[in-house]
Amino acid sequence: EVQLVESGGGLVQPGGSLRLSCAASGFTFSSHWMSWVRRAPGKGLEWVANIKQDGSDKYYVDSVKGRFTISRDNPKNSLYLQMNSLRAEDTAVYYCARDNDGFDIWGQGTMVTVSS
């Protein structure tokens, strides 16, 4: 079964850090760009970051540049998002998704709450 499973969300104070993970199965992970997408409460979907198959290229939405880092471990079929200097406006459900001319596979999401 083709699947993406996120983990690592939780409650963190402003200025804190969190690392999200996404475990892929059922497809050749190393053959695909991968992305993180978030949905804040009351808002729409927002693309956050993506990474090339071999990890050599990475792109970010302006609002997280310098604070978030996307990475991957192909032998472990895993995608990561290191989030530093977290702000209240980063509160959202974070999804990993497979880039395949559109996000054709989505994980179930992990909730990140930034609050004191």
Residues of this chain that bind another protein (CB under 8 A): 35, 37, 39, 44-47, 50, 59, 95, 97, 99, 101-109
Least Å from the CB of residue 53 to another protein = 15
Residue whose C-alpha is closest to residue 88's, from 59, 53, 113, 62: 113
Residues paired with residue 115 on neighbouring β-strands, in sequence order: none
Least Å from the CB of residue 4 to another protein = 9
Least Å from the CB of residue 63 to another protein = 13
Which one, 82 or 99, has the nearer CB to another protein?
99
Which one, 46 or 71, has the nearer CB to another protein?
46
